[in-house]
Structure 1
């Protein structure tokens, strides 16, 4: 009797286990189907995001080019002390250009406007880092002539203070150009001639030929290979690369 009851209980337990296994297998199968569908959706979303990222990148480049063109007639003057302009920025800039670049006072500079960069006025220990002055000319050729004279002089002083002239680059271009600071520092130390074509490239005149770098990462890597004591800049991952590695976060 006891053996019969034991067998009956065992059979019931096995049947229960079997039923549970069947239920679990069904749930696993359903989960696998849902996961497969989800993976398909994720893959489709990644493809769409990649296309969106490419379109956004193209639009950013177009906007950057448009902004750069809108600044063609502008130049920036750096390191002029705050308040040096007095009551008229236009009159101050004209006199500064005539005096420091030895331009004929009768020459028509055709300055349309001049103002300090839109940033908070430096205070305290930041007084030594004055805001730049943006000068807009009516004619692009006049601006280019001003820059040519400034660059030919190499060092321009205003009341004993070194000032600098440069193109008025969009902020995004200016940031990319700043990334070459380490490379330019080493090139200057080694007396290797270079210049930085628009928008943010670096042309270096080596003894064995000229190299044009498209990015600071490319420049520092090649300079390192040439034996120059430069710190290699690690490229930043693009959104597309982050997405492919599964690290893209919205």
Structure 2
């Protein structure tokens, strides 16, 4: 009886954790992360800099103005110069911006995949913003997707962490990364 209640409580807890993760991901779906933008490039107003830069970076978006609610750097400031004892410089903090609509965020991501802009000779990286549990799940798929691409598959990562593999007329979808890993291990066509 007690063991049954513990099992039921654990199942309920996992269900609640999944719901919280889903809610957090939904609240972040308007957010866009931008990596490799040198600290200070955006000046005192990151939002204005982004609104000015997007038409230059992505001319295909046309003259339709994007609506960005806010933009700022993530985390505390880091030292920007090389450390005397280690000789390492620090990567710039990511810039996060919140679009008014997630469709605008998706449009920006799509354009960034086609041709990522360069600022001061450094290529910018764009990514969607997810909760920590979702980010960890997606990160566990990266190696598998790389392996799939080396075997000739087109690999896609769908939300939240579903791997889709395509080759010729074949298409495979894996909800668990371990299933995709086993499939690739059994696939002998290279």
Same fold (TM over 0.5): yes
Encode CA deviations 1:44-100: one digit per residue, 9 max, x unaligned.
332222111101111011111111111121111122222222221112222332222
Task: Name segments (4+ residues, structure 1) moved above 6 Å.
Answer: none
Distance 1:54 1:228, change over 3 A: farther
Q: Which residue of 1 aligns with 2:134?
A: 173
Greater RCO, 1 or 2 (C-alpha within 8 Å, sep 6+): 2
Q: Which residue of 2 aligns with 1:183?
A: 144
Q: Which residue of 2 aligns with 1:244?
A: none
Q: Which residue of 2 aligns with 1:66?
A: 23
Question: Does 2:179 correspond to 1:218?
Answer: yes
CA distance in 1, matches of 2:94, 2:189: 33
TM-score of the superposition, structure 2-length normalised? 0.85
Matches of residues 204-243 of structure 1 in structure 2 within 5 Å? Answer: 204-207=165-168, 209-227=170-188
1:136 maps to which of 73, 89, 98: 98
Q: Over aligned residue pairs, what C-alpha RMSD do you find?
A: 2.3
By how many angstroms is 1:110 displaced? 0.7
Encode CA deviations 1:217-247: one digit per residue, 9 max, x unaligned.
1111111111489xxxxxxxxxxxxxxxxxx
Q: Where in structure 2 are there 5+ consecutive unaligned residues?
A: none
Q: Which residue of 1 aligns with 2:50?
A: 93
TM-score of the superposition, structure 1-length normalised? 0.66
CA distance in 1, matches of 2:79, 2:62: 32
2:161 maps to which of 189, 195, 200: 200
CA distance in 1, matches of 2:63, 2:108: 15
CA distance in 2, matches of 1:119, 1:181: 28
Encode CA deviations 1:110-165: one digit per residue, 9 max, x unaligned.
100011223563664251x3322111011222222212211222x43222211111
Larger Rg: 1
Q: Which residue of 2 aligns with 1:75?
A: 32
CA distance in 2, matches of 1:179, 1:212: 16
CA distance in 2, matches of 1:82, 1:151: 23
By how many angstroms is 1:174 displaced? 0.7
By how many angstroms is 1:181 displaced? 1.7
By how many angstroms is 1:207 displaced? 3.1
Q: Where in structure 1 are there 5+ consecutive unaligned residues?
A: 1-43, 230-250
CA distance in 2, matches of 1:71, 1:133: 14
